[in-house]
Amino acid sequence: MLDVKTKSQDSIAIIEIDGEVDLYSSPALRKALLEMTKAQNKAILVDLARVKYMDSSGVATLVEALQQVSKYEGKLKLANLRDAVKNVFELSRLDKVFDIYESIEDAKKSF
Amino acid sequence: MSEIEIKLPSDPKFLKIIRGGISHISEICGFSSEESNAVTSAVDEAASNIIKHTYNGAKNKLIIVNFRILEDRLEIVLRDFGEKVDPETIKSRDLNEIRPGGLGVHLIKSTMDVVNYDNSFEVGNQLTMAKYLPGKKEK
């Protein structure tokens, strides 16, 4: 199962995901992200350190959230992508669309 | 030739079983970690597409996955018994278009050396994908 935790630090809404994001589990991620975008969180940071696998439905969920955030001029950033997940973003050419950081600290400083 | 067959219901909760299988088989075939991840992703996307598009989300339909280690390639065949899909309509999406969805076919085609959709069966569809083994790719 996918474990999705949310917390707030320095006015940044951080979402920590643990597990594999696929067609089965991506609705849980979508629900958490939609709650954040409905609340119009201006700064959302997705920590992917514990995500070993992400399929296109997971990527689509993040794209949808990015589009929602841009509607109210917020920011959504990604951090700690493992190689397998990074490859999916690169193959989809979405590594140029998302702001991706090597660490949570780097991402937090960028807001 | 070594052949492994998995039969499973079209429930997304079983996709992990397919990924576990193909990941292990890719390692046996000698693919690098990066190639193995990409092949795993391609097979997972193909199975997900069957669940979403061929079975329209029904969880109790049959998917048969065959993994075949051949002399020069790893071949994966996914068979479904759902709505027929016109291969002409299965296209990678324009990557310049930023929108949710439609990336699965791109991930499959960018990874696999052979992708062949066959809807000539009386019922359902068959997708055959292959990746040449390291050092065996045709020049």
CATH number for A3-110 (one of 3.30.750.24, 3.30.930.10, 3.40.50.2300, 3.30.300.180): it is 3.30.750.24
Q: Closest-CA residue in chain A for B32?
A: A84
Residue B102 lies in a domain: yes
- Cβ of residue B8 closer than 8 Å to a chain A Cβ: no
Tens of pLDDT, residue by residue over A80-111, are 999 999 999 998 889 999 999 999 999 999 99
Q: Which domain holds residue B19?
A: 2-132
Contact B47, B76 (CB under 8 A): no
CA distance A100 to A78: 5
Tokens of A39: 């609340």
Residue B26 lies in a domain: yes
Specify the number of domains making up chain B.
1
Share of chain A above pLDDT 70, in %: 100
CA distance A51 to A110: 22
Q: Which pLDDT does position A30 carry in this prediction?
A: 96
Kindly state the average pLDDT of the residues A1-6: 92
The angle at the Cα of A53, spanning B57 to B63, to the nearest 5 degrees, equals 35
Q: Which pLDDT does position B138 carry in this prediction?
A: 65
Residue B137 lies in a domain: no
Kindly state the average pLDDT of the residues B50-59: 96
Q: Which residues of B touch A61 (CB under 8 A)?
A: 100
Domain boundaries, chain A: 3-110
Angle of helix A83-91 versus helix B33-49 axis, rounded to 10: 60
CA distance A73 to A57: 24
Min distance A53 CA to chain B CA atoms (Å): 8
Residue B139 lies in a domain: no
Residue B138 lies in a domain: no
The residues facing B63 across adjacent strands are: B8, B80
Out of A24, A56, A63, the one facing B98 most closely (by C-beta) is A63
For B29, phi and psi rounded to 5 degrees?
-75, -10
- Cβ of residue A28 closer than 8 Å to a chain B Cβ: no
Handedness of CA B108, B109, B112, B115 (dihedral sign): positive
CA distance B91 to A83: 26
Kindly state the average pLDDT of the residues B113-120: 95
Q: How confident is the model at residue B52 (pLDDT cuts 50, 70, 90)?
A: very high
Tens of pLDDT, residue by residue over B57-66, are 999 999 999 9
- Are A53 and B19 inside 8 Å of each other by CB? yes
- Are A97 and B98 inside 8 Å of each other by CB? yes
Q: Which pLDDT does position B40 carry in this prediction?
A: 97
Q: Which pLDDT does position B139 carry in this prediction?
A: 52
Tens of pLDDT, residue by residue over B70-113, are 999 999 999 999 999 888 787 777 767 777 677 899 999 999 99
Q: What is the CATH number of the domain that holds B6?
A: 3.30.565.10
Q: How much is the mean pLDDT over chain A?
A: 95
Out of A20, A24, A64, the one facing B100 most closely (by C-beta) is A64
Q: Helix or strand or coil: residue A27? A: helix
User: How many CB atoms neighbour CB B66 within 10 A?
Assistant: 16
Tens of pLDDT, residue by residue over B9-45, are 999 999 999 999 999 999 999 999 999 999 999 999 9
Reading phi first (left if > 0) and then psi (alpha if -120 to 50, else beta), residue A56 is in alpha
Q: Which pLDDT does position B91 carry in this prediction?
A: 75
Tens of pLDDT, residue by residue over A41-69, are 999 999 999 999 999 999 999 999 999 99
Strands of the sheet with A3-9, listed across from one edge: A3-9, A12-21, A43-54, A75-79, A99-101
Q: How much is the mean pLDDT over chain B?
A: 93
Tokens of B33: 């970690």
